[in-house]
Amino acid sequence: MSLRDIHTPVLLERCAELLAPALEPAGAVFVDATLGMGGHSEALLERFPRARLIGLDRDTDALRIAGERLARFGDRVTLVHTVYDGIADAVTSAGVDRVDGILFDLGVSSLQLDVADRGFAYSQDAPLDMRMDQSSGTTAADVIATYSEGELRRIFERYGEEKLSGRYARAIIDARTREPIERSGRLVEILVAATPYAAQRAGHPAKRVFQALRIEVNRELVVLERAIPAALSLLAVGGRIVVLSYQSLEDRLVKRALAQATASTAPAGLPVELPEHAPRFRLLVKGAELASPEEIARNPRATPVRLRAAERVRESA
């Protein structure tokens, strides 16, 4: 199967529509901060033939695949191996000061979900890895083996919003005293056994725990909290940012960052807003946009998506 068959970019048409005013002029530069297999970027390069891409990803497999996919665009493409909070350094290293468009497609990619030995999917038995960059860092097996009961409970509560976090943490600690927990299948067995029957009917017991482990291993929320302000600072006037989030914790961080960027900085009680206090950005969509039922039918991975977007309207004071 081709990449077009196995990877359907989420909300592609809406992303292109929102970015179009910024990417149509000659010389426009856009950053795909979560390149993945390059589906969004390929479409944007085709649609805006005078635009140049700086594509970022921490996953070396994704960069290799995207590089092959985008090779036909030649010197219009610059790929950088980095986590997306390194966006400022990546743009500078590409010889650019300001950019016109930025896209974040957050969460785990199709490549990571579909390759069983990456350990992201609780539905497939694999080594407990979950690193987006397999060249370095702590694995999910390391977290399971070394974190205390309190630490496990904390990440399950904070990053998985799991109501049974204490029960699951105790079960893991108990199980690892007998043998190492190194595979996703074994972890799923432990979680299922620790879940009351009534709770199992509310969804798979491993879903939130696996999400929490993935976020912890890749420091996703810590990185995102730095990345969005850094990205906003790179946008030229008229530049646009589009962010696709897939779980509430991500979306809250994005919402808060855009709210701050689009708020007036005028002191309370000032009778007239001075120009230097005017918002630097304006929101392009009201609230968070969802995928249509038609798109979800075509691409079920679009089901949880939340899209937010903004445009820079003036320079900082």
CATH topology of domain 3-105+220-312: Rossmann fold (3.40.50)
Query: Residues 109-120: what's their mean pLDDT?
Result: 61
From the annotation, which residues make up the binding site?
38-40, 57, 84, 105, 112
165-214 confidence digits (pLDDT tens)? 999 999 999 999 999 999 999 999 999 999 998 777 777 889 999 999 99
Give dist(CA 107, CA 246) in Å, integer.
6
Give dist(CA 245, CA 231) in Å, integer.
16
The burial class, CB within 10 Å (0-12 / 13-18 / 19+), for 225 is: middle
Query: Residues 260-277: what's their mean pLDDT?
Result: 71
Of the given ranges (39-53, 105-119, 171-185, 229-243), which has the lowest mean pLDDT?
A: 105-119
- Please state the φ and ψ torsions of residue 309, each to the nearest 5 degrees: -155, 150
For residue 113, pLDDT beyond 90? no
pLDDT of residue 269: 60
pTM: 0.90
CA distances in angstroms from 115 to 8, 62, 240, listed in the order given? 16, 12, 33
For residue 155, what is the enclosing H or E element?
A: helix 149-160
At which residue do the structure tokens 């968070």 appear?
A: 288
Query: Residues 95-117: what's their mean pLDDT?
Result: 80
β-pairing, 99-105 vs 52-57, is: unpaired
pLDDT of residue 108: 74
3-52 confidence digits (pLDDT tens)? 555 568 999 999 999 999 999 999 999 999 999 999 999 999 999 999 99
From the annotation, which residues make up the binding site for S-adenosyl-L-methionine?
38-40, 57, 84, 105, 112
**CATH no. of 116-218:** 1.10.150.170
For residue 124, pLDDT beyond 50? yes
Give dist(CA 126, CA 311) in Å, integer.
42
Residues 6+ apart with CB under 8 A from 3: 37, 38, 39, 65, 69
Q: Band of the pLDDT at 1, cuts 50, 70, 90?
A: very low
Cβ neighbours, 10 Å, residue 43: 15
Domain boundaries, the chain: 3-105+220-312, 116-218
